[in-house]
Every structure is written in C-alpha cells, then in structure tokens.
C-alpha cells in the first residue's frame, strides 16, 4: 500500500539514479500497464528523452521529460520500482524495464498488476482532481474544515477521498484519527473546529514521522534498492486488532468503513460528542 510517505521515499531514492539520464529502451511486458494508448506508442514518447526531475503529487510519481512531457506512475497496491546497474531479466512480476543510455536499468514490478503508467503533455488533465498536498504551507485547518465540515460521510472515508487531501491511504488515515483522538465513524459535520484542527495537525505529524522512517512495509512495499520501510514498527493501531492501545491499554477494534478495514481505540477515540450522538441515534 504505497501512500504519500512511501511514494515520497521512492521519489527521493530514484532521483540520484535517473535524473540527468536519457531513456534508451522501454520494454512493456504487460500491455494493460499503459493507460490510454498502446505500449509501442508510449515507448516512443519516452525513448530518447532525458529525465529532468522526479516529482510527487499525492500518490502519483511524475517523471518530467526534457521535451515538456510527463511520464506519470500510480503504484496502486503492489507496484514497486527497482534500480539496477546491470541488465537483468527480472522475475515473473516485472512488467516493465527501462534502460538508460548512460547505463542503469529501472524495473517496474507489480504482483497484483493494478498500477498504471500514463504519458501526458498537460499533467492537470490527469492530476487536476486531487486536493491539496498535506505537507504544503498552503494546506490549512481552515481548508480542511471547508472540505469536510459540512459532509455526512464518516471522517475516515473523507480522509481517504483524494479530493479532500492528497496522499492518505488506509494505514495513515487510521493512524491520523488515533493521534487526533477522533472516532473514524464520526460524520464530518459533527467535528468541532477544535477537532478539525487536531485532525489537520495529526495528518502532518503522522506523515512527517512516517517519512522519517522511510514509510511502512507490512507486505509488499519496497524501496528502489529493495530495502523495507520502518514505520510499521511505530503503527499505533493499524493491523493491531486485539492488541492493547498504546495509550490506555484497551483492545484495538476493527470495523469496516467505506469498504476498508479500519482500526481504532474505542476508549481514546470513543469519547466526546460522538458518544451522545451515537446513543441517541441508535436509541430512537
């Protein structure tokens, strides 16, 4: 599950390898990997181009090319990049190989094959729907309040909505709500300004922590050098169902919200306005 911290880590570690190098060959072995056009056409757009920068927007990686075009990648659930100096075949899950004129090879692996490659001239047509970057100065608690303060959806579902804020996925949405002390099922409009400020602050704190640990590996996430991230050891609630809450000791609960497993502490995240709302709601 590569989310913002994992994608950002991959971006940082790819830069020293690919920026300044020129693409020599593009070998697509699983045609559906390329969205919207044939692998041959996609390859022709990349071959001969020099990579001038690698950026990130939400969970997307953007390779800026010297002709103004962009090779955009979304890793979805199990996509990985692997860097190698020599030429290798890769295993059965390697669906694309990019080689460079100056040497070196970038492999794309993806066990579940959900990831996608795009080529665009105007990145806004692909990324324009995304909400603000949570780590930018421009993203304020007021902006978050504007986006969720009037909505009926559970706050967990709102944090997963990439139009609200770009880059959170299942792991970090659960961690953020625990740190903020908010029940994941609370409708957005029930949060006070103070609670929205806590969520806003928690998003930044959790993402910064995870970034410092180079992301979370609990199944398939790997960095370009195949190393694992380290943040999974610091997860407070994610995939800790039944384990004691790190703050109060109550057993962590798991429920399903918006189709995703959601983990929370019923004591630390159960108190406050929501108790009365929930009780009066179910009683009447």
Partner DNA sequence: AGGTTCACCTTATCGC
Partner DNA sequence: TGCGATAA
Partner DNA sequence: GTGAACC
Please report how close the Cβ of residue 143 comes to DNA at its closest, in angstroms: 17
Are 93 and 111 contacting, i.e. CB atoms less than 8 angstroms apart? yes
In the chain, what are the helix, strand and coil shares in percent, each to the nearest 5? 35, 25, 45
Please report how close the Cβ of residue 13 comes to DNA at its closest, in angstroms: 19
Q: Which of 220, 229, 219, 224 is nearest to 82 (CA)?
A: 224
Is 279 among the catalytic positions? no
* Contact residue for DNA among 39, 58, 132, 134 (CB under 7 A): 58
Q: What is the DSSP string of 60-122?
A: EEEEEETTS-EEEEE-TTTEEEEEESS-----TTEEEEEEETTS-EEEEEETT---EEEEESS
Please report how close the Cβ of residue 3 comes to DNA at its closest, in angstroms: 5
Question: Binding marks (x or -) toward DNA, 258..277, rule CB under 7 A?
Answer: xxxx----------------
| Alpha-carbon distances of 131 from 59, 161, 185, rounded to whole Å | 12, 9, 22
In whole angstroms, what is the distance from residue 270 CA to residue 262 CA? 14
Should residue 152 be labelled a site residue for DNA when binding is judged by CB under 7 A?
yes
Please report how close the Cβ of residue 165 comes to DNA at its closest, in angstroms: 11
Are 118 and 125 contacting, i.e. CB atoms less than 8 angstroms apart? no
In whole angstroms, what is the distance from residue 189 CA to residue 150 CA? 5
100 or 174, CB closer to DNA? 174
Secondary structure letter of residue 263 according to DSSP: E
Question: 141-153 burial, b if ≥16 CB within 10 A, otherwise e?
Answer: beebbebbeebeb
Phi, psi of 47 (to 5 degrees): -60, 130
Is 260 among the catalytic positions? yes
Q: Spell out the alpha helix ranges (H) of 186-271.
A: 193-212
96 or 257, CB closer to DNA? 257
83 or 114, CB closer to DNA? 114
Should residue 154 be labelled a site residue for DNA when binding is judged by CB under 7 A?
yes
Q: CA gyration radius for the chain?
A: 21
Catalytically annotated residue among 24, 49, 113, 260: 260
Three-class SS of residue 22? strand
Should residue 250 be labelled a site residue for DNA when binding is judged by CB under 7 A?
no
169 or 229, CB closer to DNA? 169
Please report how close the Cβ of residue 19 comes to DNA at its closest, in angstroms: 24
Is 197 among the catalytic positions? no
Site for DNA in 83-142 (CB under 7 A): 92-93, 111-114
Number of residues interacting with DNA: please give it, by CB under 7 A. Answer: 35
Please report how close the Cβ of residue 162 comes to DNA at its closest, in angstroms: 5
* Contact residue for DNA among 45, 59, 183, 214 (CB under 7 A): 59
Q: Is the dihedral of CA 209, 210, 214, 219 positive or negative?
A: positive
Which of the ranges 39-47, 62-70, 97-105, 153-161 carries the binding residues for DNA, by CB under 7 A?
153-161
Which of the ranges 37-45, 154-162, 198-206, 274-282 carries the binding residues for DNA, by CB under 7 A?
154-162
Residues that bind DNA in the complex, under the rule CB under 7 A:
1-3, 32, 58-59, 74, 76-77, 92-93, 111-114, 151-154, 157, 160, 162, 169-171, 188, 218-219, 239, 256-261
Give the residue numbers annotated as catalytic, written as ranges: 2-3, 59, 260
């Amino acid at each position: 599950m590569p989310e913002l911290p994992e994608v950002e880590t991959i971006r940082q570690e790819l830069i020293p390898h690919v920026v300044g190098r020129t693409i020599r060959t593009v070998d697509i072995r699983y045609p559906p990997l390329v969205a919207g056009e044939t692998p041959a056409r996609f390859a022709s757009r990349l071959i001969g181009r020099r990579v001038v920068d690698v950026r990130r927007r939400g969970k997307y990686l953007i390779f800026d090319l010297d002709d103004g075009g962009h090779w955009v990648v979304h890793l979805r659930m199990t996509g990985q990049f692997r860097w190698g100096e020599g030429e290798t075949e890769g295993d059965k899950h390697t669906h694309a190989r990019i080689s460079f004129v100056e040497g070196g090879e970038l492999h794309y692996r993806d066990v579940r094959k959900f990831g996608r490659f795009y080529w665009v001239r105007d990145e806004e047509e692909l990324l324009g729907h995304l909400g603000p970057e949570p780590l930018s100065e421009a993203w304020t608690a007021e902006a978050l309040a504007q986006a969720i303060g009037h909505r009926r959806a559970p706050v967990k579902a709102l944090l997963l909505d990439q139009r609200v804020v770009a880059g959170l996925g299942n792991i970090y949405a659960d961690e953020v709500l625990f740190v903020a002390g908010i029940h994941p099922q609370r409708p957005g409009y029930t949060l006070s300004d103070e609670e929205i400020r806590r969520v806003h602050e928690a998003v930044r704190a959790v993402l910064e922590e995870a970034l410092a640990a180079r992301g979370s590996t609990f199944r398939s996430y790997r960095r370009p050098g195949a190393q694992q991230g380290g943040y999974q050891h610091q997860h407070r609630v994610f995939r800790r169902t039944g384990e004691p809450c790190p703050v109060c000791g109550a057993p962590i609960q798991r429920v399903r919200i918006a189709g995703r497993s959601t983990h929370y502490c019923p004591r630390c995240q159960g108190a406050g306005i929501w108790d009365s709302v929930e009780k009066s709601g179910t009683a009447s």
